[in-house]
RNA sequence: GCCGGAGUAGCUCAGGGGUAGAGCGCAUCCUUGGUAAGGAUGAGGUCACGAGUUCAAUUCUCGUCUUCGGCUCCA
């Protein structure tokens, strides 16, 4: 007998060799029906695999990440089986799960291509195969047998994968006529897969390397019930309605023009207003934290970027240098603000008493992103960073870093961003030529970030090889409406630029010392931040940010004059107000302005005009009653203050 | 940059080898109204751009540009 410990710490005894599915049956029939995989001592297993010793287990259902992954992983195999049925001789790359669903990279024989039109027939085939209720069998196989088998099949992708595996740890999974190399785990039977949607098709380089062949990647998602798939598809449709590209156009926030060029956003009046509001907010916060605003030009001598290292690292992929009539003179559109800020630092001799110096600029930079990478406002070629550089003494570094984390949290709080990931990006010790600077400085910088995050009690994930070329960083990522993750705030520690620019200060010991730099941008870029903000709020911005805060709606043209008085009063009180004096009925005006997402609608007719009042309607909430004008003004001010209180004053 | 879609009115989209349609929006007029769509009339398109095939191309072919979904990249 062996002892099995369940997640609630209760212990049950079973025969040695008991399987997950048998344990589930012994607990309840319902669980036996719902269970998808079992976690045994932290490792996810097939339900049919025998357990040979005392173990801690967890039975995974659809509610568990591990359960879904098993389900989708098996779905990927089912899809592969369906594709092989139509295209015998297909070579299969990898078929993992993703956040929602799975994909498989395939290479069809004789240069055949899949297109979106083929997805439906593959879906149908998958349903047909699932209904055959084939058991899925796990087999351990020797490396040489595995190599032989896939060589015979002509699947060079799999043989490449096998050749990198350890002998003795290779497993195959078989269902019906389909066998695949796979670490598992899988469902016991394909019948659990009831609802299937193949969502898209895309090219993907083999092993993610652009020097390799491009395979066809088929994405899909499956569910144990049709209803769940239907709900999922509705959810995706809802998410598309929040897409910042759609809302940005609809709400008149920004536009693109072919004539101006790809990836170069045009901020329309309402978008510019929104952005200015965000900038003012951050300026106030930064003022409280001792920052000073600076302004630098949009171009700089190419020598500046040779000094910083940007030219060497990115010169080939940037906008090309700008020539002047003078022989040999070259300028670059600035891809970063830091070199300019270093030169501001150098404008004066600095004393240790001057530090830290915190230099902030809403600096517009230009980077030649690859054309396929451009995406609405989230990935553009010209954008404005809410940039700042902190020049400090090494003993001030950690404290300064922590203060920047505070600023980022102030912003997240003001905008109710609760669902973020904090990622520490360190250098890849295997690939040192990607970076500039000494190992010693890198160690110091990485250590400072790790300690600052610990002391702030921040939940972080750590990625090796994701650092900037001049230093490690802490990034904050937020998801958009479709679940894609975007990097917003970033804080980077840098010992290298101070060295390259010969930055120095005179210490208390009367010797020259080198300052440390922190690069930081809490929004990241105004463009990307606004994009994510639009998707978060579905365009319903908090009152303090809304480009138009109030719209006045006269009941009929008879009250237009009074409506204009209201309009002027509010605009003179710094409340952004517009008027809808179209020749329409009041119901129509309310509907149209609700749809424009204007926070407050003021209805004025005979009653209001006589009493110098307004009828207040809050967007999404309906009638709020009638108020005197100054009373309404206070009412609004109060709501704004509640949103911003304590954040910068 | 690479793979695969798409580009028709301001917007959302239908259509199809014989030079175009709907709804919404817009304009004008009627209506002057009380908390989510009042009515009538009308204007708007080199069917992304450039070549080719054809008696004839917006429709078919090729190229370019833009855009969408991915891959790769992201100072």
* Secondary structure of A362-382 as H, E, C letters: EEEEECCCCHHHCECCCECCE
How far is C-alpha A184 from the chain's CA centre? 29
Name which of A84, A81, A102, A105 is nearest A94 in CA terms: A105
**Residue A259 burial (CB count, 10 A):** 5
Q: Answer whether residue A419 shows pLDDT above 90.
A: no
pLDDT value of position A437: 86
Catalytic residue among A387, A475, A480, A580: A387
Q: Which of residues 535-574 of A touch strand B (CB under 7 A)?
A: 555-558
d(CA A187, CA A216): 25
Q: Answer whether residue A435 shows pLDDT above 90.
A: no
User: Does nucleic acid strand B have an atom less than 7 angstroms from the CB of A320?
Assistant: no
Query: pLDDT: is A434 or A34 the higher one?
Result: A34
pLDDT value of position A65: 93
Residues with Cβ < 8 Å from A631, sequence gap 6 or more? none
Residue nearest to nucleotide B70 (CA to C1'): A202
A540 CA from B42 C1′ (Å): 36
Question: Residue range A267-294: average pLDDT?
Answer: 96
pLDDT value of position A318: 83
User: Does nucleic acid strand B have an atom less than 7 angstroms from the CB of A210?
Assistant: yes
Predicted confidence (pLDDT) per residue in A212-238, tens digit? 999 999 999 999 999 999 999 888 888
Which nucleotide has the least CA–C1' distance to A214? Answer: B3
d(CA A550, CA A546): 9
A393 is catalytic: no
Residue nearest to nucleotide B29 (CA to C1'): A583
How far is C-alpha A105 from the chain's CA centre? 24
Predicted confidence (pLDDT) per residue in A324-374, tens digit? 999 999 999 999 999 999 999 999 999 999 999 999 999 999 999 999 999
Predicted confidence (pLDDT) per residue in A567-624, tens digit? 999 999 999 999 999 999 999 999 999 999 999 999 999 999 999 999 999 999 999 9
Q: Answer whether residue A186 shows pLDDT above 80.
A: yes
Residue nearest to nucleotide B37 (CA to C1'): A588
pLDDT value of position A475: 95
A249 is catalytic: no
Q: Which of residues 114-133 of A touch strand B (CB under 7 A)?
A: 115-116
A262 CA from B18 C1′ (Å): 38
User: Does nucleic acid strand B have an atom less than 7 angstroms from the CB of A411?
Assistant: no
A395 is catalytic: no
Task: Name the β-bridge partners of A502.
Answer: none
Q: What share of chain A is helix, strand, coil (3-state, %, to 5)?
A: 40, 30, 30
pLDDT value of position A403: 97
Q: Which of residues 577-596 of A touch strand B (CB under 7 A)?
A: 582-588, 590-591, 594-595
pLDDT value of position A234: 87
pLDDT value of position A308: 94
pLDDT value of position A431: 83
The answer to whether the CB of A515 falls within 8 A of the CB of A498 is yes
Catalytic residue among A338, A342, A392, A453: A338
Name which of A500, A506, A509 is nearest A348 in CA terms: A506
Has the ipTM of the complex gone over 0.90? yes
pLDDT value of position A544: 96
A586 CA from B36 C1′ (Å): 10
The answer to whether the CB of A262 falls within 8 A of the CB of A374 is yes
Catalytic residue among A118, A155, A186, A385: A385
- Containing A126, the helix (H) or strand (E) segment is helix A116-131
Q: Answer whether residue A119 shows pLDDT above 70.
A: yes
User: Does nucleic acid strand B have an atom less than 7 angstroms from the CB of A620?
Assistant: yes
pLDDT value of position A649: 66
Question: Residue range A534-557: average pLDDT?
Answer: 95
Q: Which of residues 453-482 of A touch strand B (CB under 7 A)?
A: 468-469, 482
d(CA A504, CA A519): 17
User: Does nucleic acid strand B have an atom less than 7 angstroms from the CB of A42?
Assistant: no
- pTM higher than 0.95: no
Residue nearest to nucleotide B71 (CA to C1'): A204
Q: Which of residues 217-246 of A touch strand B (CB under 7 A)?
A: 217, 219, 245-246
Q: Answer whether residue A402 shows pLDDT above 80.
A: yes
Question: Residue range A20-47: average pLDDT?
Answer: 94
A342 is catalytic: no
Question: Residue range A132-149: average pLDDT?
Answer: 93
The answer to whether the CB of A634 falls within 8 A of the CB of A584 is no
Name which of A582, A598, A620, A479 is nearest A549 in CA terms: A598
Average pLDDT of chain A is 93
Q: Report the residue count for chain A.
A: 649
For strand B, give the nucleotides within 7 A of a protein CB.
1-5, 11-12, 26, 29-38, 65-75
Question: Residue range A191-203: average pLDDT?
Answer: 93
Name which of A198, A190, A71 is nearest A131 in CA terms: A190
Query: E strands along A531-612, which residues?
Result: 550-554, 577-579, 600-604
d(CA A361, CA A341): 9
How far is C-alpha A267 from the chain's CA centre? 23
A513 is catalytic: no
Could you tell me what percent of chain A has a pLDDT over 90?
84
DSSP 8-state symbol, A468? B
A138 CA from B23 C1′ (Å): 57
Question: Residue range A287-303: average pLDDT?
Answer: 96
User: Does nucleic acid strand B have an atom less than 7 angstroms from the CB of A621?
Assistant: no
Which nucleotide has the least CA–C1' distance to A332? Answer: B75
Question: Residue range A466-471: average pLDDT?
Answer: 91
**What is the 3-class SS of A266-311, one letter each residue?**
EECHHHHHHHHHHHHHHHHHHHHCCCEECCCCCEEEHHHHHHHCHH
């Amino acid at each position: 007998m062996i002892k099995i410990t369940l997640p609630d710490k209760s212990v049950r005894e079973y025969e040695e060799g008991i399987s997950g599915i048998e344990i589930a049956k012994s607990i309840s029939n319902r669980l036996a029906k719902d269970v998808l995989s079992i976690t045994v001592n932290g490792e996810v297993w097939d339900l049919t695999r025998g357990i040979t010793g005392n173990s801690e287990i967890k039975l995974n259902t659809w509610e568990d990440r591990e359960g879904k992954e098993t389900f989708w992983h098996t779905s990927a195999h089912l899809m592969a089986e369906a594709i092989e049925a139509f295209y015998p001789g297909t070579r299969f790359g990898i078929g993992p799960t993703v956040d929602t669903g799975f994909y498989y990279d395939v290479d069809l024989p004789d240069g055949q291509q899949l297109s979106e039109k083929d997805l439906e027939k593959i879906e149908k085939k998958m349903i047909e195969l699932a209904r055959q209720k084939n058991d899925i069998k796990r087999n351990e196989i020797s490396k040489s047998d595995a190599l032989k088998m896939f060589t015979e099949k002509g699947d060079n992708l799999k043989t490449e994968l096998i050749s990198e595996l350890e002998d003795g740890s290779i497993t195959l999974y078989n269902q019906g006529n389909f066998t695949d190399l796979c670490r598992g785990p899988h469902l016991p039977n394909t019948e659990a897969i009831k609802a299937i949607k193949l969502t898209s098709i895309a090219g993907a380089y083999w092993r993610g390397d652009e020097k390799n062949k491009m395979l066809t990647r088929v994405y899909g998602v499956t569910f144990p019930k049709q209803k769940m798939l239907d709900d999922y598809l509705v959810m995706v449709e809802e998410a598309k309605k929040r897409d910042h590209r759609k809302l940005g156009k609809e709400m008149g926030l920004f536009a693109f023009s072919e004539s101006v060029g790809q990836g170069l956003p045009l901020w329309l009046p309402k978008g510019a207003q929104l952005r200015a509001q965000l900038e003012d907010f951050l300026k106030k916060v930064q003022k409280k934290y001792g920052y000073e605003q600076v302004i630098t030009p949009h171009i700089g001598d190419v020598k500046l970027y040779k000094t910083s290292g940007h030219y060497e690292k990115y010169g080939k992929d940037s906008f090309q240098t700008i020539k002047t009539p003078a022989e040999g003179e070259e300028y670059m559109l600035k891809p970063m603000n830091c070199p300019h800020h270093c030169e501001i630092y150098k404008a004066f001799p600095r004393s240790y008493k001057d530090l830290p110096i915190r230099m902030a600029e809403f600096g517009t930079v230009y980077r030649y992103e690859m054309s396929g990478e451009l995406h609405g406002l989230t990935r553009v070629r010209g954008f404005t960073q809410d940039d700042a550089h902190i020049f400090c003494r090494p003993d001030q570094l950690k404290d300064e870093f922590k203060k920047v984390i505070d600023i980022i949290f102030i912003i997240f709080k003001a905008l109710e961003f609760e669902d973020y990931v904090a990622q520490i990006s360190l250098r890849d010790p295997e690939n040192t030529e990607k970076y500039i600077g000494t190992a010693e400085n890198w160690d110091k910088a990485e250590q400072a970030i790790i300690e600052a995050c610990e002391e702030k009690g921040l939940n972080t994930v750590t990625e090796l090889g994701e650092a900037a070329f001049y230093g490690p960083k802490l990034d904050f990522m937020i998801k958009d409406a479709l679940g894609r993750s975007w990097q917003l705030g970033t804080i980077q520690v840098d010992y290298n630029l101070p060295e390259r620019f010969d930055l120095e200060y005179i210490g208390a010991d009367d010797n020259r010392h080198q300052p440390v730099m922190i690069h930081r941008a809490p929004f990241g870029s105004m463009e990307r931040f606004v994009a994510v903000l639009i998707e978060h709020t579905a365009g319903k911005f908090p009152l303090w940010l809304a480009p138009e805060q109030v719209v006045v709606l006269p009941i009929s043209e008879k009250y237009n004059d009074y409506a204009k008085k209201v309009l002027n009063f509010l605009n003179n009180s710094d409340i952004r107000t517009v008027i809808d004096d179209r020749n329409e009925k009041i119901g129509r005006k309310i509907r149209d302005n609700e749809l424009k997402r204007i926070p407050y609608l003021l209805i004025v007719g005979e009653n209001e005009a006589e009493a110098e009042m307004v009828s207040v309607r809050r967007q999404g909430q309906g009638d709020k009653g009638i108020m005197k004008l100054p009373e309404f003004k206070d009412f609004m001010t109060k709501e704004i203050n509640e949103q911003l209180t304590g954040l910068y004053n």
